[in-house]
Amino acid sequence: MTTQSAVIYVISDALGETAEFVSRAAAAQFVGVKTRIRRVPYVRDQAHLEDIMEEAATEQAILVYTLVLKDLREYLEEKALERGLRTVDILGPLIGALAGQTGMDPTHTPNIIHRLDEQYFRKVEAVEFAVKYDDGKDPRGVLFADVVLIGVSRTSKTPLSMYLAHKGLKAANIPLVPEVDPPDELFSISSRKVIGLTVRPELLNQIRTERLKTLGLGATADYANLDRIMRELEYARGIMKRIGCPIIDATGKAIEETASIILEILFKGDRNE
């Protein structure tokens, strides 16, 4: 008994993993059939398709494809018909069904899933970065950050860093304390990457007092002393002016509101470069 064989060309405008998986699942249903699968990724124009079709015709291969661009799908079907090749459109029918069901047009954007994956992993990387370089743990992070937040304790540096991380930005933050010199790295980067945060002394006094209570400490500690807070804020403002960075008064602002201001500052900076 002769062994039957088949050749499948998997053609995609992305990696072609989906079509290859479907092809292997289908081939597994035919015991004793030797199936060779060739994946051809990132097909984006008719010239590339034409080269593939010529090779496929010599092997009478089945063409399994995931092409989101309509003109490429139509071109492939037309040329396959001329050469007597069988085709299987993996995405086309479902895209058409979804369009009919929703009444909306597809974007026809190649590789969109992997673009979304890239966005997801960028966010994960940014969150890990924010955790690693939170509260001045390692000042070297300043050199690799997209944005550096500076300010005295309890000016929302950490929650802002995490919020910006979920926007895909690598944020480091450095606390400013009169008794501790800021890291040298802070003065070696562009001032456009640094954002100073401040809060009115009275509010900061309330916030720190509540913080001490949650820690089971007395509200009379120097940390919550109003005179101490005013000295800290004055010191921090001096550092910010020395750097020449924008300063945001976060008093009464939600994290989202302050983050929006930061993003606007950063966006304008990129646009003006």
So where are the chain's domains? 4-110, 113-272
The pLDDT confidence band at residue 14, using thresholds 50, 70 and 90, is: confident
Other beta carbons less than 10 A from residue 162's beta carbon = 18
Given a cut of 60, whether residue 270 has pLDDT beyond it is: no
Copy the structure tokens of residue 46. 């008719």
The answer on whether 156 is annotated among ligand-binding residues is: yes
- What are the percentages of helix, strand and coil residues in the chain, rounded to 5? 55, 15, 30
Cα 58 from Cα 68, distance rounded (Å): 26
The answer on whether 155 is annotated among ligand-binding residues is: yes
The answer on whether 153 is annotated among ligand-binding residues is: yes
Burial class from Cβ neighbours inside 10 Å (0-12, 13-18, 19+) for residue 119 reads: exposed
Asked, colleague to colleague, whether 4-110 and 113-272 share their fold, the answer is yes
Torsion, Cα 254 260 266 271, to 10 degrees, reads -160
CA geometry: angle 105, 111, 114, nearest 5 deg: 120
Phi, psi dihedrals of residue 202, rounded to the nearest 5°: -65, -40
Among the CATH numbers 3.40.50.2300, 3.40.50.720, 3.10.580.10, 3.40.640.10, which is that of 4-110?
Answer: 3.40.50.2300
Fold category of 113-272 in CATH: Rossmann fold (3.40.50)
The answer on whether 87 is annotated among ligand-binding residues is: no
The answer on whether 199 is annotated among ligand-binding residues is: no
Query: What digits encode the pLDDT tens for the residues 37-83?
Result: 999 988 889 999 999 999 999 999 999 999 988 899 999 999 999 99
Q: Compute the mean pLDDT over every residue in the chain, rounded to the nearest whole number.
A: 90
The answer on whether 5 is annotated among ligand-binding residues is: no
